[in-house]
Chain A
């Protein structure tokens, strides 16, 4: 058994960094929205990207799953009902490195030019956020394939994406999602 949030977090990272759906097994729409391996990387040792000691070499295009809250959905669940429906608020943080001296530390796509994109952190961060949002919001990528317990149902952006210039050539985009999921009432989800 594993904790409910560990299973959900694994699914989110599978979509963002492990290429879930890129082989077409989850359908054509999932394939179109999928993110290839190497576009993003998981935060090193699950470290918050705002930490000033976060290593520079692992910062560009790092993504971090930041759980914010959890509640019943849509109202208080009857505790003997099965399944139990819940909604978690989760912020997805995606990082961008910028500045003339950091071209060696970029995680580039095949067509990006380091000397160009180091001066475009805001559009790069927002574009990455949009890419992540399209993938996380795709129902086939989120729910398709072998059943997951707890089962993610929908991942919908709440509000907009905000940019935060952390200084020192680091920029962070944060997008808050409502992640609806259902739990089996007979399962403990004991970690």
Chain B
């Protein structure tokens, strides 16, 4: 039996329809954006400057669930939710439909390859996150399923 990419793409399209319906029902309260900053040289070098920023806002909004936390310098939270400790929370984002004719995303779009002059972060905004939103960095990508990808992120420098 050979692989059947046509069936796989059809299933992705069906899954995408379902995820759009979930967003339409108002149950996806967190917006997720993949943001890629391009610097003139290696990041954090004193002469490097920000050249450009590209933003990919995921649509439909994926499910976002808490995936634990750890203490860390780049943690956040306020006195009401963390007792003043620096808590770097992790979140699982997905399932996100893999690319098909009607939408979805490739793994490369969701986790762009790194480089010394790139800062890639994930901007999560919603009731769970303070201010206009918070920045996160990628810690895991799971694209082992045929129709979907799930990414895990952890709070990073804001």
A contacts, CB < 8 Å to B:
17-19, 37-38, 41-42, 44-45, 47-48, 51-58, 60, 62, 104-107
Q: Is A57 in contact with B43, judged by CB distance below 8 angstroms? A: yes
Q: Is B45 in contact with A37, judged by CB distance below 8 angstroms? A: yes
Say yes or no: is B113 at the interface (Cβ < 8 Å to chain A).
yes
Complex-state Cα separation, A65 to B75, whole angstroms: 21
Interchain residue pairs with CB less than 8 A apart (19): A19-B46, A38-B42, A45-B73, A51-B73, A53-B73, A53-B154, A54-B74, A55-B74, A56-B114, A57-B114, A57-B118, A57-B120, A58-B43, A104-B113, A104-B115, A104-B116, A105-B114, A107-B42, A107-B45
B113 to chain A, nearest CB (A): 7
Q: Is A38 in contact with B88, judged by CB distance below 8 angstroms? A: no
Given contacts A47-B73, A105-B116, whether A42 and B157 have CB atoms under 8 Å apart is no
Say yes or no: is B119 at the interface (Cβ < 8 Å to chain A).
yes
Say yes or no: is B70 at the interface (Cβ < 8 Å to chain A).
yes
B85 to chain A, nearest CB (A): 13
Q: Is B46 in contact with A17, judged by CB distance below 8 angstroms? A: yes
Contact of B47 among A38, A47, A55, A57 (CB under 8 A): A38
Contact of A47 among B41, B137, B157 (CB under 8 A): B157
Rank and list the top 7 A-B pairs by shortest CB-CB distance, nearest first: A53-B72, A41-B44, A51-B73, A58-B44, A47-B73, A104-B114, A41-B45
B153 to chain A, nearest CB (A): 12
Say yes or no: is B156 at the interface (Cβ < 8 Å to chain A).
yes
Complex-state Cα separation, A62 to B156, whole angstroms: 17
Given contacts A41-B42, A104-B115, whether A52 and B70 have CB atoms under 8 Å apart is yes
Complex-state Cα separation, A171 to B128, whole angstroms: 35
Q: Is B157 in contact with A44, judged by CB distance below 8 angstroms? A: yes
Q: Is B88 in contact with A107, judged by CB distance below 8 angstroms? A: no
Query: Taking CB as reference atom, which chain A residue is nearest B137?
Result: A55
A36 to chain B, nearest CB (A): 10
B38 to chain A, nearest CB (A): 12
Chain B, range 42-72, C-beta contacts under 8 Å to A? 42-47, 70, 72
Chain B, range 20-48, C-beta contacts under 8 Å to A? 41-47
Complex-state Cα separation, A42 to B113, whole angstroms: 24
Q: Is A51 in contact with B46, judged by CB distance below 8 angstroms? A: no
A-contact bits for B117-133, CB 8 A (1 contact / 0 none): 01110000000000000
Q: Is B116 in contact with A106, judged by CB distance below 8 angstroms? A: yes
Query: 12 additional contacts, CB 8 Å, given A47-B73, A53-B72?
Result: A18-B46, A19-B46, A37-B45, A41-B45, A44-B157, A47-B157, A48-B73, A53-B75, A53-B155, A56-B114, A58-B44, A60-B116
Given contacts A18-B46, A107-B42, A107-B45, whether A55 and B157 have CB atoms under 8 Å apart is yes
Contacts of B154 in A (CB 8 A): 53
